[in-house]
Structure 1
Amino acid sequence: MNLLPTLSVIVSIALPTAALAQDHRGHNEGLQITISGGIVSAPSYLGDDDYQTTVFPNISLSYGERLKASLRGIEYTAIIRDNWSAGGILAYDFGREEDPGKSDLTISGDASTDLIGLGDVDGTIEIGGFVEYGAGPIASRLELRQGVDGGHDGLHGEASVSYRGLFDVFAAPAFFSVGPKVTFADDAYNSAYFDVSETQSIASGISEYDAGGGINSYGLSASVMMPLSEHTSLVGFVDYDQLTGDVGDSSIVQERGSQDQVRTGIFINYTF
Protein backbone atom coordinates (compact mmCIF):
# COMPACT_ATOMS: atom_id res chain seq x y z
CA MET A 1 0.00 0.00 0.00
CA ASN A 2 1.36 3.43 -0.92
CA LEU A 3 1.59 5.29 2.40
CA LEU A 4 1.54 8.88 1.21
CA PRO A 5 -1.95 9.04 -0.32
CA THR A 6 -3.37 7.19 2.66
CA LEU A 7 -1.60 9.43 5.17
CA SER A 8 -2.72 12.50 3.27
CA VAL A 9 -6.30 11.27 3.30
CA ILE A 10 -6.25 10.56 7.03
CA VAL A 11 -4.78 13.97 7.84
CA SER A 12 -6.96 16.00 5.45
CA ILE A 13 -10.18 14.26 6.48
CA ALA A 14 -9.54 14.15 10.21
CA LEU A 15 -8.35 17.76 10.52
CA PRO A 16 -11.73 19.47 9.86
CA THR A 17 -13.52 17.32 12.45
CA ALA A 18 -10.65 17.71 14.91
CA ALA A 19 -10.70 21.48 14.40
CA LEU A 20 -14.44 21.63 15.02
CA ALA A 21 -14.06 19.53 18.17
CA GLN A 22 -11.26 21.84 19.33
CA ASP A 23 -13.48 24.89 18.75
CA HIS A 24 -16.03 23.44 21.16
CA ARG A 25 -13.46 22.40 23.80
CA GLY A 26 -11.28 25.52 23.56
CA HIS A 27 -7.81 25.94 22.05
CA ASN A 28 -4.82 24.28 23.66
CA GLU A 29 -1.73 26.48 23.64
CA GLY A 30 0.71 23.79 24.75
CA LEU A 31 2.09 20.56 23.33
CA GLN A 32 -0.37 17.81 22.40
CA ILE A 33 0.67 14.31 21.32
CA THR A 34 -1.80 11.97 19.65
CA ILE A 35 -1.17 8.24 19.28
CA SER A 36 -3.46 6.54 16.78
CA GLY A 37 -4.16 3.00 15.73
CA GLY A 38 -6.67 1.72 13.25
CA ILE A 39 -7.57 -0.31 10.21
CA VAL A 40 -7.47 1.09 6.67
CA SER A 41 -8.66 -0.41 3.41
CA ALA A 42 -7.07 1.21 0.34
CA PRO A 43 -5.72 0.45 -3.15
CA SER A 44 -2.25 -1.11 -3.18
CA TYR A 45 -1.06 1.84 -5.29
CA LEU A 46 -2.73 4.94 -6.72
CA GLY A 47 -4.78 3.63 -9.64
CA ASP A 48 -5.02 0.00 -8.51
CA ASP A 49 -8.25 -1.98 -8.58
CA ASP A 50 -7.12 -4.40 -5.84
CA TYR A 51 -7.33 -3.45 -2.19
CA GLN A 52 -5.39 -4.22 0.95
CA THR A 53 -6.63 -3.96 4.52
CA THR A 54 -3.87 -2.93 6.88
CA VAL A 55 -3.36 -2.12 10.53
CA PHE A 56 -2.23 1.49 10.43
CA PRO A 57 -0.34 3.12 13.34
CA ASN A 58 0.38 6.84 13.48
CA ILE A 59 1.69 9.44 15.87
CA SER A 60 1.23 13.19 15.56
CA LEU A 61 1.90 16.25 17.64
CA SER A 62 0.79 19.85 17.72
CA TYR A 63 1.99 22.90 19.57
CA GLY A 64 -0.68 25.52 19.97
CA GLU A 65 -2.39 26.59 16.76
CA ARG A 66 0.76 26.87 14.65
CA LEU A 67 2.82 23.68 14.60
CA LYS A 68 1.67 20.21 13.53
CA ALA A 69 3.82 17.17 12.79
CA SER A 70 3.08 13.56 11.84
CA LEU A 71 4.50 10.77 9.71
CA ARG A 72 3.28 12.81 6.74
CA GLY A 73 5.55 15.74 7.58
CA ILE A 74 5.68 19.09 9.38
CA GLU A 75 3.25 21.96 8.95
CA TYR A 76 3.76 25.45 10.38
CA THR A 77 1.04 28.11 10.32
CA ALA A 78 2.85 31.43 9.89
CA ILE A 79 -0.15 33.71 9.34
CA ILE A 80 -3.43 33.74 11.28
CA ARG A 81 -5.79 36.57 10.32
CA ASP A 82 -9.49 36.45 11.20
CA ASN A 83 -10.83 33.53 9.15
CA TRP A 84 -7.63 33.10 7.13
CA SER A 85 -4.46 31.17 7.83
CA ALA A 86 -1.41 30.25 5.76
CA GLY A 87 1.88 28.50 6.29
CA GLY A 88 4.60 26.16 5.12
CA ILE A 89 4.92 22.40 4.71
CA LEU A 90 7.89 20.04 4.82
CA ALA A 91 6.68 16.62 3.71
CA TYR A 92 7.90 13.26 2.49
CA ASP A 93 6.46 11.37 -0.48
CA PHE A 94 7.04 7.66 0.23
CA GLY A 95 7.27 6.82 -3.45
CA ARG A 96 6.18 3.50 -4.95
CA GLU A 97 7.72 0.03 -5.16
CA GLU A 98 7.25 -2.00 -8.31
CA ASP A 99 7.16 -5.26 -6.31
CA PRO A 100 6.25 -4.49 -2.68
CA GLY A 101 6.50 -7.29 -0.17
CA LYS A 102 3.53 -8.13 1.98
CA SER A 103 3.66 -6.14 5.19
CA ASP A 104 3.34 -7.83 8.58
CA LEU A 105 0.60 -5.28 9.26
CA THR A 106 -1.53 -6.44 6.30
CA ILE A 107 -4.73 -8.18 7.36
CA SER A 108 -6.11 -9.07 3.93
CA GLY A 109 -5.20 -8.61 0.29
CA ASP A 110 -1.93 -9.37 -1.43
CA ALA A 111 0.78 -6.90 -2.41
CA SER A 112 0.17 -5.98 -6.05
CA THR A 113 2.50 -7.30 -8.77
CA ASP A 114 0.90 -5.13 -11.49
CA LEU A 115 3.87 -2.77 -11.74
CA ILE A 116 6.76 -5.21 -12.04
CA GLY A 117 8.95 -3.94 -14.85
CA LEU A 118 8.25 -0.25 -14.24
CA GLY A 119 10.92 0.19 -11.58
CA ASP A 120 10.60 1.91 -8.23
CA VAL A 121 9.71 5.56 -7.68
CA ASP A 122 12.02 6.67 -4.87
CA GLY A 123 10.79 8.64 -1.88
CA THR A 124 10.95 12.41 -2.24
CA ILE A 125 11.43 15.32 0.13
CA GLU A 126 8.85 18.01 -0.61
CA ILE A 127 8.44 21.62 0.43
CA GLY A 128 5.27 23.62 -0.01
CA GLY A 129 2.59 25.74 1.51
CA PHE A 130 -1.09 26.03 2.25
CA VAL A 131 -3.87 28.58 2.59
CA GLU A 132 -7.01 27.93 4.63
CA TYR A 133 -10.26 29.84 4.98
CA GLY A 134 -13.04 29.07 7.42
CA ALA A 135 -16.40 30.75 7.93
CA GLY A 136 -18.92 29.14 10.24
CA PRO A 137 -19.37 25.49 9.27
CA ILE A 138 -17.40 25.86 6.00
CA ALA A 139 -13.67 25.12 5.85
CA SER A 140 -11.59 25.33 2.68
CA ARG A 141 -7.92 24.57 1.99
CA LEU A 142 -5.47 24.85 -0.89
CA GLU A 143 -2.17 22.99 -0.59
CA LEU A 144 0.86 22.85 -2.92
CA ARG A 145 4.01 20.69 -2.59
CA GLN A 146 7.16 20.71 -4.74
CA GLY A 147 9.56 17.76 -4.91
CA VAL A 148 13.13 18.87 -4.20
CA ASP A 149 15.11 15.66 -3.71
CA GLY A 150 14.20 12.10 -4.64
CA GLY A 151 11.99 10.21 -7.04
CA HIS A 152 10.15 13.17 -8.56
CA ASP A 153 10.83 16.87 -9.05
CA GLY A 154 7.26 17.88 -9.79
CA LEU A 155 4.62 20.12 -8.28
CA HIS A 156 1.31 18.73 -7.03
CA GLY A 157 -1.49 19.79 -4.75
CA GLU A 158 -5.06 19.57 -3.56
CA ALA A 159 -7.99 21.93 -3.07
CA SER A 160 -10.88 20.99 -0.78
CA VAL A 161 -14.01 22.40 0.81
CA SER A 162 -15.81 20.79 3.73
CA TYR A 163 -18.97 21.33 5.70
CA ARG A 164 -18.53 20.69 9.42
CA GLY A 165 -21.19 20.02 12.01
CA LEU A 166 -22.16 17.93 15.01
CA PHE A 167 -24.89 15.61 16.14
CA ASP A 168 -25.64 13.59 19.27
CA VAL A 169 -24.82 9.92 19.73
CA PHE A 170 -26.19 8.51 23.01
CA ALA A 171 -26.40 12.06 24.38
CA ALA A 172 -22.74 12.71 23.52
CA PRO A 173 -21.54 15.05 20.73
CA ALA A 174 -20.11 13.60 17.54
CA PHE A 175 -18.45 15.79 14.93
CA PHE A 176 -18.65 15.29 11.18
CA SER A 177 -17.04 16.76 8.08
CA VAL A 178 -17.99 16.19 4.44
CA GLY A 179 -17.05 17.86 1.19
CA PRO A 180 -15.53 17.76 -2.29
CA LYS A 181 -11.88 17.90 -3.29
CA VAL A 182 -9.72 17.99 -6.39
CA THR A 183 -6.07 17.06 -6.91
CA PHE A 184 -3.71 18.31 -9.62
CA ALA A 185 -0.07 18.04 -10.67
CA ASP A 186 2.40 19.14 -13.32
CA ASP A 187 4.01 17.04 -16.05
CA ALA A 188 7.09 16.15 -13.97
CA TYR A 189 5.08 14.70 -11.09
CA ASN A 190 2.65 12.73 -13.25
CA SER A 191 5.46 11.42 -15.44
CA ALA A 192 7.22 9.92 -12.41
CA TYR A 193 4.16 7.85 -11.49
CA PHE A 194 2.21 7.33 -14.71
CA ASP A 195 4.65 7.35 -17.65
CA VAL A 196 5.53 4.04 -19.30
CA SER A 197 8.65 4.15 -21.46
CA GLU A 198 9.42 1.73 -24.29
CA THR A 199 11.79 -0.21 -22.04
CA GLN A 200 9.27 -0.32 -19.21
CA SER A 201 6.55 -1.41 -21.62
CA ILE A 202 8.61 -4.38 -22.80
CA ALA A 203 9.44 -5.37 -19.21
CA SER A 204 5.94 -4.94 -17.77
CA GLY A 205 3.58 -5.66 -20.66
CA ILE A 206 1.87 -2.29 -20.13
CA SER A 207 1.45 -0.05 -23.17
CA GLU A 208 3.73 2.97 -23.58
CA TYR A 209 2.31 6.20 -22.21
CA ASP A 210 3.40 9.81 -21.71
CA ALA A 211 1.45 11.57 -18.98
CA GLY A 212 1.05 15.34 -18.90
CA GLY A 213 -0.04 17.68 -16.14
CA GLY A 214 -3.50 18.86 -15.17
CA ILE A 215 -6.38 17.77 -12.95
CA ASN A 216 -5.61 14.30 -11.59
CA SER A 217 -8.78 13.50 -9.65
CA TYR A 218 -11.94 14.80 -8.12
CA GLY A 219 -13.82 13.24 -5.28
CA LEU A 220 -15.57 13.41 -1.94
CA SER A 221 -14.35 12.90 1.63
CA ALA A 222 -16.33 12.35 4.81
CA SER A 223 -15.45 11.61 8.42
CA VAL A 224 -17.00 11.34 11.85
CA MET A 225 -15.18 11.90 15.15
CA MET A 226 -16.78 10.74 18.39
CA PRO A 227 -15.07 11.63 21.70
CA LEU A 228 -15.05 8.61 24.01
CA SER A 229 -13.41 10.33 26.96
CA GLU A 230 -11.37 13.42 27.74
CA HIS A 231 -8.34 11.97 25.97
CA THR A 232 -9.76 9.31 23.62
CA SER A 233 -11.75 9.62 20.40
CA LEU A 234 -13.00 7.35 17.64
CA VAL A 235 -12.63 8.49 14.01
CA GLY A 236 -14.12 6.85 10.94
CA PHE A 237 -13.63 8.05 7.36
CA VAL A 238 -14.47 7.25 3.77
CA ASP A 239 -12.77 8.85 0.78
CA TYR A 240 -13.58 8.53 -2.94
CA ASP A 241 -11.50 9.71 -5.89
CA GLN A 242 -12.27 9.50 -9.60
CA LEU A 243 -8.97 9.60 -11.51
CA THR A 244 -9.25 11.84 -14.54
CA GLY A 245 -7.20 13.63 -17.19
CA ASP A 246 -3.85 12.14 -18.19
CA VAL A 247 -3.69 10.16 -14.94
CA GLY A 248 -7.07 8.52 -15.53
CA ASP A 249 -6.10 7.78 -19.14
CA SER A 250 -2.72 6.28 -18.21
CA SER A 251 -2.16 2.77 -19.50
CA ILE A 252 -1.25 1.76 -15.94
CA VAL A 253 -4.76 2.67 -14.79
CA GLN A 254 -6.61 1.55 -17.90
CA GLU A 255 -4.87 -1.83 -18.29
CA ARG A 256 -4.07 -2.83 -14.71
CA GLY A 257 -6.24 -0.75 -12.42
CA SER A 258 -9.30 1.45 -12.08
CA GLN A 259 -10.19 5.13 -12.17
CA ASP A 260 -12.35 4.62 -9.06
CA GLN A 261 -10.35 4.83 -5.83
CA VAL A 262 -11.94 4.28 -2.42
CA ARG A 263 -10.30 4.41 1.01
CA THR A 264 -12.04 3.64 4.29
CA GLY A 265 -10.79 3.40 7.83
CA ILE A 266 -11.52 3.57 11.51
CA PHE A 267 -9.12 4.84 14.17
CA ILE A 268 -8.84 5.22 17.91
CA ASN A 269 -6.88 8.30 18.98
CA TYR A 270 -5.39 8.94 22.38
CA THR A 271 -4.29 12.54 23.01
CA PHE A 272 -2.25 13.77 25.94
Structure 2
Amino acid sequence: MAGIAVLLSLANGAASANDDDDDDDDDTKRVLTDPTPAKGWIVTLGGSFQVGPKYDGAKAFGPSFMPSLAWRRVGEPAGFSAPDDSFDYAIYDTDRFDVGVVGNYRSGRYSGSSFRLFGMRDVPWAIEAGVFAEYWVVPDRLRTRIEVRQGFNGHHGVVADLSADWVERLGSFTFAIGPRLSLGSASYMRRNFGVLPAEAALNGTIPAYKPGAGAKSVGFASSLEYTWSPSLSTTVFARYDRLVGDAGNSRLVDRLGERNQFLFGIGASYSFQVGG
Protein backbone atom coordinates (compact mmCIF):
# COMPACT_ATOMS: atom_id res chain seq x y z
CA MET A 1 0.00 0.00 0.00
CA ALA A 2 2.83 2.36 0.78
CA GLY A 3 4.31 1.70 -2.70
CA ILE A 4 0.97 2.40 -4.37
CA ALA A 5 0.67 5.68 -2.44
CA VAL A 6 4.15 6.71 -3.61
CA LEU A 7 3.23 5.90 -7.25
CA LEU A 8 0.00 7.90 -7.00
CA SER A 9 1.92 10.81 -5.51
CA LEU A 10 4.46 10.78 -8.36
CA ALA A 11 1.67 10.60 -10.95
CA ASN A 12 -0.12 13.57 -9.42
CA GLY A 13 3.16 15.51 -9.37
CA ALA A 14 3.78 14.74 -13.05
CA ALA A 15 0.25 15.83 -13.97
CA SER A 16 0.73 19.08 -12.04
CA ALA A 17 4.03 19.68 -13.84
CA ASN A 18 2.34 19.10 -17.20
CA ASP A 19 -0.40 21.59 -16.25
CA ASP A 20 2.29 24.14 -15.33
CA ASP A 21 4.03 23.56 -18.67
CA ASP A 22 0.71 24.06 -20.48
CA ASP A 23 0.17 27.29 -18.58
CA ASP A 24 3.67 28.47 -19.53
CA ASP A 25 3.01 27.62 -23.19
CA ASP A 26 -0.29 29.51 -23.09
CA ASP A 27 1.47 32.54 -21.57
CA THR A 28 4.16 32.44 -24.25
CA LYS A 29 1.59 32.21 -27.04
CA ARG A 30 -0.36 35.07 -25.51
CA VAL A 31 2.76 37.27 -25.49
CA LEU A 32 3.53 36.45 -29.12
CA THR A 33 0.02 36.80 -30.49
CA ASP A 34 -1.20 39.70 -28.39
CA PRO A 35 1.72 42.04 -27.75
CA THR A 36 1.26 45.39 -26.08
CA PRO A 37 1.33 48.02 -28.87
CA ALA A 38 4.36 50.27 -28.83
CA LYS A 39 3.55 53.82 -27.80
CA GLY A 40 5.10 57.09 -28.87
CA TRP A 41 6.74 58.48 -31.98
CA ILE A 42 10.24 58.67 -33.41
CA VAL A 43 10.87 62.17 -34.75
CA THR A 44 13.77 62.75 -37.15
CA LEU A 45 15.11 66.26 -37.66
CA GLY A 46 17.73 66.91 -40.30
CA GLY A 47 19.12 69.17 -42.93
CA SER A 48 21.45 69.22 -45.89
CA PHE A 49 23.97 71.70 -47.24
CA GLN A 50 24.38 71.55 -50.99
CA VAL A 51 26.14 73.29 -53.86
CA GLY A 52 24.49 73.39 -57.26
CA PRO A 53 23.34 75.65 -60.12
CA LYS A 54 21.93 78.97 -58.94
CA TYR A 55 18.88 78.40 -61.16
CA ASP A 56 17.73 76.01 -63.90
CA GLY A 57 20.33 76.11 -66.66
CA ALA A 58 22.83 78.28 -64.78
CA LYS A 59 26.57 77.91 -65.26
CA ALA A 60 27.36 79.50 -61.89
CA PHE A 61 27.11 77.49 -58.66
CA GLY A 62 25.71 78.60 -55.34
CA PRO A 63 25.16 77.14 -51.86
CA SER A 64 21.80 76.32 -50.30
CA PHE A 65 20.41 74.64 -47.20
CA MET A 66 17.31 72.45 -46.97
CA PRO A 67 15.78 71.29 -43.66
CA SER A 68 13.97 67.97 -43.29
CA LEU A 69 11.43 66.48 -40.90
CA ALA A 70 10.07 62.94 -40.62
CA TRP A 71 8.24 60.86 -38.04
CA ARG A 72 7.15 57.27 -37.50
CA ARG A 73 5.65 55.17 -34.72
CA VAL A 74 7.95 53.50 -32.19
CA GLY A 75 8.76 50.03 -33.47
CA GLU A 76 8.38 50.90 -37.15
CA PRO A 77 11.59 50.63 -39.20
CA ALA A 78 12.96 53.80 -40.75
CA GLY A 79 12.01 54.02 -44.41
CA PHE A 80 14.22 55.06 -47.33
CA SER A 81 14.13 58.62 -48.65
CA ALA A 82 16.38 59.99 -51.39
CA PRO A 83 18.06 63.35 -50.69
CA ASP A 84 16.37 64.90 -53.74
CA ASP A 85 12.86 63.82 -52.69
CA SER A 86 10.60 66.76 -51.95
CA PHE A 87 9.11 67.16 -48.48
CA ASP A 88 6.13 64.78 -48.33
CA TYR A 89 3.38 63.41 -46.12
CA ALA A 90 1.85 60.01 -46.91
CA ILE A 91 -1.95 59.86 -46.73
CA TYR A 92 -2.14 56.20 -47.74
CA ASP A 93 0.79 54.04 -46.67
CA THR A 94 1.53 50.31 -47.09
CA ASP A 95 4.71 48.24 -47.09
CA ARG A 96 5.15 48.74 -50.86
CA PHE A 97 2.93 51.64 -51.95
CA ASP A 98 2.61 55.22 -50.64
CA VAL A 99 0.60 58.16 -51.89
CA GLY A 100 0.27 61.62 -50.38
CA VAL A 101 0.99 65.33 -50.64
CA VAL A 102 4.33 66.93 -51.43
CA GLY A 103 6.00 70.35 -51.33
CA ASN A 104 9.20 71.83 -52.71
CA TYR A 105 11.13 75.11 -52.81
CA ARG A 106 12.82 76.42 -55.96
CA SER A 107 15.30 79.30 -55.90
CA GLY A 108 14.87 82.21 -58.28
CA ARG A 109 16.78 83.78 -61.16
CA TYR A 110 17.61 87.48 -60.88
CA SER A 111 19.01 89.71 -63.61
CA GLY A 112 21.18 91.56 -61.12
CA SER A 113 23.19 88.40 -60.38
CA SER A 114 25.02 88.57 -63.74
CA PHE A 115 25.57 91.26 -66.35
CA ARG A 116 24.87 88.61 -69.00
CA LEU A 117 21.25 88.50 -67.80
CA PHE A 118 20.78 92.22 -68.45
CA GLY A 119 17.28 92.91 -69.72
CA MET A 120 15.92 89.55 -68.60
CA ARG A 121 12.93 89.62 -66.25
CA ASP A 122 13.43 88.20 -62.79
CA VAL A 123 12.05 84.76 -61.96
CA PRO A 124 11.39 84.94 -58.18
CA TRP A 125 11.66 81.98 -55.82
CA ALA A 126 8.77 79.56 -56.04
CA ILE A 127 6.87 77.18 -53.80
CA GLU A 128 5.64 74.00 -55.50
CA ALA A 129 2.86 71.88 -54.01
CA GLY A 130 1.21 68.73 -55.30
CA VAL A 131 0.98 64.96 -54.90
CA PHE A 132 3.37 62.02 -54.96
CA ALA A 133 3.18 58.25 -55.32
CA GLU A 134 5.90 55.66 -54.84
CA TYR A 135 6.01 51.90 -55.32
CA TRP A 136 8.64 49.36 -54.32
CA VAL A 137 8.95 47.08 -57.36
CA VAL A 138 11.38 44.90 -55.40
CA PRO A 139 10.69 45.24 -51.64
CA ASP A 140 13.46 47.15 -49.85
CA ARG A 141 15.54 47.18 -53.06
CA LEU A 142 13.97 48.97 -56.05
CA ARG A 143 11.80 52.04 -55.48
CA THR A 144 9.96 54.04 -58.13
CA ARG A 145 8.48 57.47 -57.44
CA ILE A 146 6.59 60.27 -59.18
CA GLU A 147 5.90 63.81 -57.98
CA VAL A 148 3.54 66.26 -59.72
CA ARG A 149 3.70 69.82 -58.38
CA GLN A 150 2.01 73.15 -59.13
CA GLY A 151 4.11 76.29 -58.82
CA PHE A 152 3.25 79.44 -56.88
CA ASN A 153 4.89 82.89 -56.84
CA GLY A 154 7.95 82.47 -59.12
CA HIS A 155 6.10 80.40 -61.72
CA HIS A 156 2.60 79.02 -62.15
CA GLY A 157 3.37 75.99 -64.24
CA VAL A 158 3.36 72.27 -63.45
CA VAL A 159 6.47 70.15 -62.88
CA ALA A 160 6.63 66.34 -62.84
CA ASP A 161 9.65 64.44 -61.50
CA LEU A 162 10.03 60.69 -62.08
CA SER A 163 12.73 58.63 -60.38
CA ALA A 164 13.88 55.12 -59.58
CA ASP A 165 16.39 54.06 -56.91
CA TRP A 166 18.23 50.80 -56.35
CA VAL A 167 18.93 50.57 -52.61
CA GLU A 168 21.65 48.44 -51.00
CA ARG A 169 22.05 48.17 -47.21
CA LEU A 170 25.50 47.00 -46.13
CA GLY A 171 25.80 47.04 -42.36
CA SER A 172 25.71 50.66 -41.25
CA PHE A 173 25.84 51.89 -44.85
CA THR A 174 22.90 52.52 -47.20
CA PHE A 175 23.81 53.13 -50.84
CA ALA A 176 21.31 54.24 -53.49
CA ILE A 177 21.54 55.14 -57.16
CA GLY A 178 19.03 55.63 -59.95
CA PRO A 179 17.82 57.59 -62.99
CA ARG A 180 15.87 60.86 -63.01
CA LEU A 181 13.48 62.48 -65.49
CA SER A 182 11.90 65.94 -65.14
CA LEU A 183 9.01 67.31 -67.21
CA GLY A 184 7.60 70.83 -67.37
CA SER A 185 4.39 72.40 -68.61
CA ALA A 186 4.46 75.14 -71.27
CA SER A 187 3.94 77.81 -68.60
CA TYR A 188 6.88 76.55 -66.56
CA MET A 189 9.16 76.23 -69.58
CA ARG A 190 8.35 79.72 -70.91
CA ARG A 191 8.94 81.30 -67.51
CA ASN A 192 12.30 79.64 -66.90
CA PHE A 193 13.71 79.15 -70.41
CA GLY A 194 11.81 81.56 -72.65
CA VAL A 195 12.96 84.95 -73.92
CA LEU A 196 10.38 87.62 -74.76
CA PRO A 197 11.00 89.91 -77.78
CA ALA A 198 11.38 92.90 -75.44
CA GLU A 199 13.95 91.00 -73.34
CA ALA A 200 15.89 90.03 -76.46
CA ALA A 201 15.92 93.66 -77.64
CA LEU A 202 17.24 94.92 -74.29
CA ASN A 203 19.84 92.19 -73.89
CA GLY A 204 21.11 92.39 -77.46
CA THR A 205 22.98 89.05 -77.40
CA ILE A 206 20.21 86.45 -77.48
CA PRO A 207 17.13 86.15 -79.73
CA ALA A 208 13.53 85.74 -78.62
CA TYR A 209 12.60 82.14 -77.79
CA LYS A 210 9.30 80.44 -76.91
CA PRO A 211 9.68 76.88 -75.59
CA GLY A 212 6.86 74.38 -75.25
CA ALA A 213 5.91 71.66 -72.77
CA GLY A 214 7.93 68.48 -72.55
CA ALA A 215 10.98 66.84 -71.04
CA LYS A 216 13.23 69.28 -69.20
CA SER A 217 16.12 67.06 -68.09
CA VAL A 218 17.37 63.50 -67.74
CA GLY A 219 20.02 62.32 -65.32
CA PHE A 220 20.80 60.24 -62.25
CA ALA A 221 21.32 60.67 -58.52
CA SER A 222 23.30 58.76 -55.91
CA SER A 223 23.64 58.84 -52.13
CA LEU A 224 25.57 57.11 -49.36
CA GLU A 225 24.25 57.16 -45.79
CA TYR A 226 26.13 56.03 -42.69
CA THR A 227 24.24 55.27 -39.47
CA TRP A 228 26.47 56.11 -36.51
CA SER A 229 23.82 55.13 -33.94
CA PRO A 230 20.02 54.67 -33.78
CA SER A 231 19.86 58.44 -33.27
CA LEU A 232 22.45 59.87 -35.68
CA SER A 233 23.17 59.41 -39.38
CA THR A 234 25.01 61.36 -42.08
CA THR A 235 24.65 61.33 -45.87
CA VAL A 236 26.69 62.44 -48.86
CA PHE A 237 24.96 62.73 -52.23
CA ALA A 238 25.34 63.91 -55.81
CA ARG A 239 23.07 64.45 -58.79
CA TYR A 240 23.66 65.05 -62.50
CA ASP A 241 21.06 66.39 -64.95
CA ARG A 242 21.33 67.06 -68.66
CA LEU A 243 18.91 69.70 -69.93
CA VAL A 244 17.13 68.38 -73.04
CA GLY A 245 14.46 69.39 -75.54
CA ASP A 246 13.26 72.96 -75.52
CA ALA A 247 14.98 73.58 -72.18
CA GLY A 248 18.39 72.53 -73.51
CA ASN A 249 17.89 74.52 -76.73
CA SER A 250 17.09 77.75 -74.88
CA ARG A 251 19.52 80.57 -75.63
CA LEU A 252 19.60 81.21 -71.89
CA VAL A 253 21.22 77.80 -71.58
CA ASP A 254 23.41 77.23 -74.64
CA ARG A 255 24.76 80.82 -74.74
CA LEU A 256 24.57 82.09 -71.17
CA GLY A 257 24.34 78.90 -69.14
CA GLU A 258 25.15 75.19 -69.17
CA ARG A 259 23.23 72.07 -70.22
CA ASN A 260 25.12 69.85 -67.78
CA GLN A 261 23.89 70.49 -64.25
CA PHE A 262 25.74 69.08 -61.21
CA LEU A 263 24.75 69.13 -57.55
CA PHE A 264 26.73 67.90 -54.51
CA GLY A 265 25.70 67.85 -50.88
CA ILE A 266 26.09 66.53 -47.36
CA GLY A 267 23.39 66.07 -44.75
CA ALA A 268 22.78 64.86 -41.22
CA SER A 269 19.75 63.74 -39.22
CA TYR A 270 19.02 63.18 -35.54
CA SER A 271 16.17 61.01 -34.21
CA PHE A 272 14.52 61.05 -30.79
CA GLN A 273 11.43 59.57 -29.15
CA VAL A 274 8.38 61.60 -28.19
CA GLY A 275 5.72 60.13 -25.89
CA GLY A 276 5.40 56.51 -24.88
Deviates further, 118-127 or 155-164: 118-127
Residue 221 of structure 1 corresponds to which residue in structure 2?
A: 221
For residues 254-265 of structure 1, the aligned pairs below 5 Å read 254-265=254-265
Greater helix share, structure number: 2
Q: Which residue of 1 aligns with 2:45?
A: 34
Count the aligned residue pairs: 223
Contact 1:36 1:270 in 2 (8 A): no
Whole-angstrom distance in 2 between the partners of 1:261 and 1:270: 30
In structure 2, the CA distance between the partners of 1:188 and 1:62, relative to structure 1 (3 Å rule), is: same
Structure 2 unaligned blocks of 5 or more: 1-37, 74-80
Helix, strand or coil at the partner of 2:190: helix
Aligned amino acid, residue 120 of structure 1: D
Using the alignment, how far apart are the partners of 1:97 and 1:121 within structure 2? 6
Select 2:153's aligned residue among 150, 153, 157: 150
Residue in 2 aligned with 1:192?
Answer: 191
Cα distance, 1:51 vs. partner? Answer: 2.6
- On the 8 A contact 2:236/2:265 being kept in 1, the answer is yes
Shift of 1:82: 4.3
Identity across matched positions, percent = 27
1:59 aligned to 2:95?
no
1:47 corresponds to which of 57, 63, 73 = 57
Question: Cα deviation per residue 1:227-250 (whole Å; 9 max; x = unaligned)?
Answer: 123322221111010100100000
Q: Secondary structure at the match of 2:234?
A: strand
- The equivalent of 1:122 in structure 2 is 124
Q: Look up the match of 2:232.
A: 232
- Kindly indicate which of the two structures has a greater share of residues assigned to strand: 1
Residues 60 and 243 of structure 1: CA distance in aligned 2, closer, same or farther (over 3 Å): same
TM-score between both structures, scaled by the size of structure 1: 0.73
| Residue aligned with 1:256, SS | coil
Q: Give the greater-gyration-radius structure (CA).
A: 2
Read off the aligned partner of 1:130 and give its amino acid letter: F
CA distance in 2, matches of 1:28, 1:250: 55
Kept after mapping to 1: 8 A contact 2:68/2:87? no
Task: Give me the TM-score of the superposition, normalised by structure 2.
Answer: 0.72
CA distance in 1, matches of 2:39, 2:209: 50
CA deviation map 1:87-118 (0-9, x unaligned): 11244444322224xxxxxxxxxxx4432321
Query: What is the rounded CA distance, in whole Å, between the counterparts of 2:71 and 2:48 in structure 1?
Result: 21
Aligned-residue RMSD, C-alpha? 2.6
C-alpha distance in structure 2 between counterparts of 1:97 and 1:28, whole Å: 49
Q: What letter matches 1:141 in structure 2?
A: R
Q: 2:88 aligns with which of 75, 83, 87?
A: 75
* Pairing 1:98–2:100 present: no
Residue number in structure 2 paired with 1:4:
none
Note the C-alpha offset of 1:37: 5.1
The 2-side partners of 1:187 and 1:116 are apart by 24
| In structure 2, C-alpha distance between the alignment counterparts of 1:163 and 1:29, rounded to whole Å | 31
Letter in 1 for 2:166: Y
Summarize deviations over 1:112-154 as a string: whole Å, max 9, x none: 443232121123343310110013200010110012x423221
Distance 1:45 1:114, change over 3 A: farther
Q: 1:224 to 1:132 in 2, by over 3 A?
A: same
Distance, in Å, in 2 between the alignment partners of 1:227 and 1:77 is: 24
SS in 1 for 2:198: helix
Question: 1:176 maps to what in 2?
Answer: 175
* AA aligned opposite 1:186: S
Q: Secondary structure at the match of 1:191?
A: helix
